[in-house]
Amino acid sequence: MKNIVGKLCSRGAESLTNEELLTLIVAEDSGDERSKDVACELLRSAAGSLQRLAATDIMRLRMVAGLGLRRAMRIKAAAEFGRRVEVAEAAQQDVVKSDSDVVRIMEPVVGNLSHEECWALYLASSGKVIERQRISQGGVQATVVDSKLVLKRAIELLAVQIVLVHNHPSGSAEPSRQDVELTERIAAGAHLLDMRLLDHVIIARGAHYSFRGHNLIK
């Protein structure tokens, strides 16, 4: 434990391994030598993925290696702190030129959710994001989107481009039939209003799918 603290002070937090970082988070004090074993067990429970660990329900998390509620809450708070920093940083770089920009902006928002959410990015002609808006929230496998409301907000904002973004908690980024139909409806409606559906991006854990990248949007 003292070695980890020394490493943090001399070389910075970025030098710590995932195990060392978790050890510091769960440790009760500088003499808590068992915290390293707890950190190892936490990583094993999440198959070595910090992202999966951050998404673990707090009541399930507290049972791992006898972690307890207080330390489980500490881990969830640390994960949420990091997520909010990511969201704030992404908001400062709010120009969309490609699907990679969409993922950079929106993955911190929807990437770890256990339910589906659909968002719209409303863009100026330059690609600058005028507004990000959650347009629906659903269950584990689906969410219902009112295309009229999506286009109405675009008109109100005088946006000329729209990007749809939603997540797949299942982990597969492949679009469903409903996803394709939604894309076609929004694209057709935007065209009638002299707007453009620039892309529809599906974000899953560690993967994403771009309709434009697969030539499904012209």
Q: What is the CATH number of the domain that holds 198?
A: 3.40.140.10
Is residue 196 over pLDDT 60? Answer: yes
Listing DSSP states for 109-122 in one string gives HHTT-SS-EEEEEE
Asked if residue 77 belongs to a domain, the reply is: yes
The model carries a pTM of: 0.62
Per residue in 13-25, pLDDT (tens digit) is: 888 898 988 888 8
From 36, 64, 87, the end of a domain falls on: 87
Is residue 142 over pLDDT 60? Answer: no
Instruction: Check residues 199 and 48 and name the one with the higher pLDDT.
Output: 199
Asked if residue 141 belongs to a domain, the reply is: yes
Q: Do 118 and 200 fall within a single domain?
A: yes
Is residue 32 over pLDDT 80? Answer: no
What pLDDT sits at residue 131? Answer: 92
Asked if residue 217 belongs to a domain, the reply is: no
Q: Do 108 and 175 fall within a single domain?
A: yes
Q: Do 6 and 33 fall within a single domain?
A: yes
64: confidence class by pLDDT, cuts 50, 70, 90: confident
What pLDDT sits at residue 9? Answer: 86
Give residue 74's domain range: 2-87
Is residue 203 over pLDDT 90? Answer: yes
Give the helix ranges, DSSP H, for 47-206. 50-55, 58-61, 69-92, 99-110, 147-157, 177-192
The mean pLDDT of the chain is 88
Q: Do 188 and 105 fall within a single domain?
A: yes
Q: Do 24 and 117 fall within a single domain?
A: no
From 31, 56, 87, the end of a domain falls on: 87
Q: How many domains does the chain have?
A: 2
From 27, 52, 87, the end of a domain falls on: 87
Q: Do 136 and 196 fall within a single domain?
A: yes
Asked if residue 66 belongs to a domain, the reply is: yes
Asked if residue 156 belongs to a domain, the reply is: yes
Q: Do 126 and 38 fall within a single domain?
A: no
Q: Do 82 and 134 fall within a single domain?
A: no
Asked if residue 218 belongs to a domain, the reply is: no
Q: Do 52 and 81 fall within a single domain?
A: yes
User: How large a percentage of the chain has pLDDT more than 90?
Assistant: 47
What pLDDT sits at residue 101? Answer: 93
User: How large a percentage of the chain has pLDDT more than 70?
Assistant: 94
Contacts of 178-185 with CB under 8 Å at 24 or more apart are 178/142, 180/216, 182/145, 182/147, 183/211, 183/216, 183/217, 185/147
